[in-house]
Amino acid sequence: MAITIDGKATAHKLRAEINTEVQKLVSEGTRPGLAVVLVGDNPASRVYVHMKEKACCDVGIFSDEHKLPAETGEKELLSLIESLNHDTRIHGILVQLPLPKHINEARVLEAISPEKDVDGFHPYNVGRLVLGKPTFQPCTPYGIMVLLKEYGIDLTGKEVVVVGRSNIVGKPVAFMCLQQHATVTICHTRTVDLPDKIARADVLIAAIGRPEAIPGAWIKKGAVVIDVGVNRIAEKKLVGDVEFEAAAERASYITPVPGGVGPMTITMLLQNTLLSAKISHAAKQNSQEEPS
């Protein structure tokens, strides 16, 4: 029977540490600030944005919310981003995805200053991630890597199979695992013989968004299973992309849904905002120390 990876407990511990660091930075004169931009009224996005605001408030980060109507034009959104780029109270800018169809997502993400890109979605930061250079790491993959480290799971030489090739999870987590010396396979909807690929995985990362699409019987004995899926199958029932009970019988470690990867995502957003504020604070100190 697998050990359950407790994302909720890890997130709780990390948030307490972030809170301490935020208070220290505030006492030195800088309060970290995060701007969250939501366009339209996608119900899931509204819930996430609300959770982000509450999480900021809990750790002492200034949260600046911008809730815009669905018909907001791209120009208007770009000019808001431009003003946030120049706002010294703001160290992180997050535009909640997905955006309404009439807005070009890539153009919006590229408009965010890479220095305030706490989601790690700007091509500059994506490029740095691929090159293995320090950068803002996208929050969900970052949370996964922290959980693996927390549970002492070393990826060196391991076969990691990522199912899903999104820009938000699949692609970045694959590169982060590569950076940790894993041998990485990325699978997707056109992959031939998915069960065969999954059977090879020492570490399986499922990020497809289809309820229990991966049967437990496909999992290799002793594998680590990271389930990124959050699928609502009934009013009060959330399930992952992996059949939990059957997978837990074969795996060595497994993340539950809810309470696995989910709580880590917002925690890493807080961490990235704190990091950005620290960099900005240090730059301010340095410029004040320079002889005139």
Interface residues with ligand GUN (CB under 6 A)? 94-97, 119, 139-140, 168
Backbone angles phi, psi at 91, to 5 degrees: -110, -15
- Cβ proximity to ligand GUN, 97 vs 194, nearer residue: 97
Q: How far is the CB of 139 from ligand GUN (least distance, A)?
A: 5
Distance between CA atoms of 160 and 155, rounded to whole angstroms? 8
| Catalytic residue from among 6, 64, 119, 202 | 119
Q: How far is the CB of 76 from ligand GUN (least distance, A)?
A: 18
Q: How far is the CB of 275 from ligand GUN (least distance, A)?
A: 16
The answer to whether 204 touches 226, Cβ cutoff 8 Å, is yes
Q: Which two structure tokens, joined as six digits, stand for 149?
A: 């480290």
C-alpha separations of 250 from 150, 181, 247 in Å: 21, 24, 5
Distance between CA atoms of 255 and 124, rounded to whole angstroms? 31
| Catalytic residue from among 96, 116, 137, 278 | 96
Distance between CA atoms of 9 and 190, rounded to whole angstroms? 36
State yes or no: is 119 an active-site residue: yes
**Residue 186 forms beta bridges with which residues?**
162
- Cβ proximity to ligand GUN, 25 vs 108, nearer residue: 108
| Catalytic residue from among 52, 116, 197, 278 | 52
Residue nearest to ligand GUN (CB): 97
Q: Which two structure tokens, joined as six digits, stand for 266?
A: 């917002």
- Cβ proximity to ligand GUN, 35 vs 139, nearer residue: 139
State yes or no: is 96 an active-site residue: yes
- Cβ proximity to ligand GUN, 10 vs 96, nearer residue: 96
The letter for the amino acid at 164 is G
- Cβ proximity to ligand GUN, 247 vs 266, nearer residue: 266
Q: How far is the CB of 34 from ligand GUN (least distance, A)?
A: 11
Q: How far is the CB of 92 from ligand GUN (least distance, A)?
A: 11
Range 123-142 burial, b when 16+ CB lie within 10 A, else e:
ebbbebbbeeeebbbbbbbb
Helix (H, G, I), strand (E, B) or coil at 33: strand
- Cβ proximity to ligand GUN, 64 vs 243, nearer residue: 64
Range 28-52 burial, b when 16+ CB lie within 10 A, else e:
eebebbbbbbbbbebeebeebbeeb
Kindly state the helix (H) or strand (E) to which residue 278 belongs, with its residue range: helix 262-289
Q: How far is the CB of 218 from ligand GUN (least distance, A)?
A: 26
Backbone angles phi, psi at 239, to 5 degrees: -130, 165
* Chain centroid, CA 129 distance in Å: 14
Catalytic positions are 52, 96, 119
